[in-house]
Structure 1
Amino acid sequence: MKRTGFYSGSFDPVTLGHTDIIARASRLVDRLVIGVGVHPSKTPMFPTEERVEMLEAETRAIAKEAGIPIEVVTFSDLAVSAAERHGASVIFRGLRDGTDFDYEMQMANMNGQMLPTVQTVFVAASPEVRHIAANLVRQIAQMGGDVTSFVSTGVALRLATKSKADANAKG
C-alpha cells in the first residue's frame, strides 16, 4: 500500500524551514502532497499562483532525491479535509519550538477527532533553520534587508522584486 503524506501552509514565501520539513517528510512516504492554503480573509504577499510556482521549483530536486512524486495543490477548506481528498494517511506538521508544539498538538487532536484515519506526524525543524519564520522573512524583505540565509536564491529574487514593486506602488 502506497502511503501519501500531506503538508500544508501558506508558504508566503516558501522558506528554507519549509523545504527542510518537505525533504524530511518525503523520506517517510511514497507520495507527498503540499497544500497551499487559500483564505479569502488573508492578504498574502504573493498571489496563490506564484506561491505554487515557488513550491514547485523548490521541491523538484527534493522529489528527485527522495524518489517520490511531490504534488503542489491549493485548498480553501480544512487541511484535514484536503488531506483526505488527496488520499493522505499522514499530515506532516513542522515544529520549531514549544509554542509551535502547543498549537500543533491542539490542531492534531481536533483533526484526529474529525478524521481518525489520518495521523499527524510532527517533524522537528533542523537546528540550522529552526529560527526561520515566513512572516519575519517578509518583514525583512519589505524593509530592504538581506533574506538570503532564510530562503533559496530564487525565492530571494522574487522577494526583492516584489518588495521593490510594492515600494514603488506606495510612491
Structure 2
Amino acid sequence: MTTLVLPGSFDPFTLGHLDLARRAAALADEVVIAVSHNPSKAGLLSLEQRRRAIEETLQAEGLAPRVRVEDLPAGLLVDFCRRIGARAVVRGLRSQLDLSYEEPMARMNAHLAQVDTVFLLTDQSLAHISSSLVREVHALGGPVEDMLPSASVEALRRV
C-alpha cells in the first residue's frame, strides 16, 4: 500500500489544500492529512476545529476513508512518516518562492529517512490562496467563501 502524507497547519483548510488532497489521492492508496500546530504562526482555529472541518470536507467530497486526518505530533515529520509507513510527503507549490522554502526540507527528509517529497504545482486558479491571506481577509471583514470549503467557512464563522 502506498501512503502519502500531506502535512500542514491548515488554519484554515482551503480549496488549494482540498485540490492537493484530491490529486494526492489519485497517486496513492492512502493519503494522511497531518495537521500540525506551528508555534511560529498566529493560530485562528484550534487543532480540533481544523481537524473537524477537514474531516467534514473529506466526507462531503467522497475522499474519506482513503484520505484521512491525523494530528502531527511534535518532532520530525519523517518520524511520523516512518510510524505510519508513508514513503513520501506531498507539498504544493504556488510559486518559485514556495520551492525555495520547500527544497531544503525535502532534501533533509530524504537525507534523514529516505522520505521523498512529491511536489504538485498548485492549480493556477487557486495559486493566490494561502491560509494566512484567508485569515487576514477574514479578520478585516472581507469575503472568504470562494476560497474555502463550506466546513472551513463554518469553522471561521464560529470563531
Whether these two folds match at TM > 0.5 is yes
Q: Helix, strand or coil: the match of 1:111? A: helix
Say which of 127, 132, 140 aligns to 1:135. 132
Return closer, same or farther for 1:25/1:62 CA change in 2, 3 Å cut-off: farther
Give runs of aligned pairs for residues 71-86 of structure 1, distance below 5 A.
71-75=68-72, 76-86=74-84
Tell me how far 1:144 sits from its aligned partner.
0.9
Counterpart position of 1:120: 117
Counterpart position of 2:13: 14
Say which of 130, 155, 158 aligns to 1:158. 155
Q: Is the 8 A contact 1:141 1:160 kept in 2?
A: no
Tell me how far 1:57 sits from its aligned partner.
1.1
Tell me how far 1:87 sits from its aligned partner.
0.9
Q: Which moved more, 1:71-80 or 1:98-107?
A: 71-80
Q: Which moved more, 1:10-19 or 1:76-85?
A: 76-85
Counterpart position of 1:27: 26
Return closer, same or farther for 1:140/1:126 CA change in 2, 3 Å cut-off: same
Shift >6 Å, 4+ stretches: none
Q: Which moved more, 1:72-81 or 1:143-152?
A: 72-81
Number of corresponding residues: 157
Cα separation, 2, equivalents of 1:5 and 1:81: 14
Higher relative contact order (CA 8 A, sep 6+): 2
Q: Of the two, which has the highest radius of gyration?
A: 1
Tell me how far 1:40 sits from its aligned partner.
5.0
User: What is the TM-score normalised by the length of structure 2?
Assistant: 0.92
Tell me how far 1:153 sits from its aligned partner.
2.4
Counterpart position of 2:57: 58
Ranges in structure 1 where 5+ consecutive residues have no aligned partner: 163-171
Q: Say what the alpha-carbon RMSD is for the aligned residues.
A: 1.5
Tell me how far 1:39 sits from its aligned partner.
4.0
Q: Which moved more, 1:125-134 or 1:146-155?
A: 146-155
Cα separation, 2, equivalents of 1:39 and 1:18: 17
Cα separation, 1, equivalents of 2:145 and 2:40: 29
Counterpart position of 1:99: 97
